[in-house]
Chains A and B, each alone.
Chain A
């Protein structure tokens, strides 16, 4: 099993729909992150959490919300999806060294 698991792997949704992307990890890390990746823009931080009670906005949090249900689970919601939220979304965890461990990503298309 992967250390960081994201579901779904791919999703197509309509404008205005609510959608949730899920992330679970077996690393035992406290720190979890959601990034989106767009061509030419690199990875940009949406939200991050350092423990279950600690949630923080990243640089592009508008239109997104998160929930840290447990140390191992961190979900990202798009309350009302819009086309410019079409992107590749990554969940990542971080321990004490060697940066992030990434999930395999969710490719989201909003039509």
Chain B
């Protein structure tokens, strides 16, 4: 059975800290991995990863994929209260056009 597991489930840090969120997966035929940020309601797109070892970066956020070990990490440096959200990882199984989601990591950044 295809599955995506995120850890930790929740995390509380202080502003300025650096956090690393993890996503591991087991799918029959991997195509891509996506990271989303969910604040109030709709998840918003952060990164799409398809190749191992190539870091994607956007401001203080970065992500990398390891297709050999079947995981991805999302790093947030110098966290701010506005980073408080649920971070979702999703994996697309090739040929299906569907994404399997992890349960998410709830990040709370304290001022």
Number of A-B contacts (CB under 8 A): 49
With contact pairs A40-B103, A41-B103, A97-B48 given, residues A102 and B43 touching in the complex (Cβ less than 8 Å)? yes
B42 lies within 8 A of A103 (CB): yes
B42 lies within 8 A of A104 (CB): yes
**Contact size range, B:** 20 to 34
A97 vs B44: C-alpha distance in the bound complex, in angstroms? Answer: 14
Question: What's the dominant secondary structure at chain B's contact region?
Answer: strand
B99 within 8 A of partner (CB): yes
A85 vs B22: C-alpha distance in the bound complex, in angstroms? Answer: 29
B97 lies within 8 A of A100 (CB): no
> Using Cβ atoms and an 8 Å threshold, which residues of chain B touch A105?
41-42
Instruction: Give the residue of B9, B90, B102, B103 whose beta carbon is less than 8 angstroms from that of A99.
Output: B90
> Using Cβ atoms and an 8 Å threshold, which residues of chain B touch A64?
none
Q: Taking each of A40, A100, A101, A102, which has the highest tally of chain B beta carbons within 10 Å of its own beta carbon?
A: A100
> Using Cβ atoms and an 8 Å threshold, which residues of chain A touch B9?
40
B68 within 8 A of partner (CB): no
Instruction: Give the residue of B48, B97, B104 whose beta carbon is less than 8 angstroms from that of A42.
Output: B104
A90 within 8 A of partner (CB): yes
A102 vs B32: C-alpha distance in the bound complex, in angstroms? Answer: 18
6 closest A-B pairs by CB: A42-B103, A43-B101, A102-B42, A105-B41, A99-B34, A42-B101
- The residues of B with any CB-CB pair to A shorter than 8 Å are 9, 32, 34, 36, 41-45, 48, 88, 90, 92, 97-99, 101-104
- The residues of A with any CB-CB pair to B shorter than 8 Å are 31, 33, 35, 40-45, 48, 50, 58, 88, 90, 94, 97-105
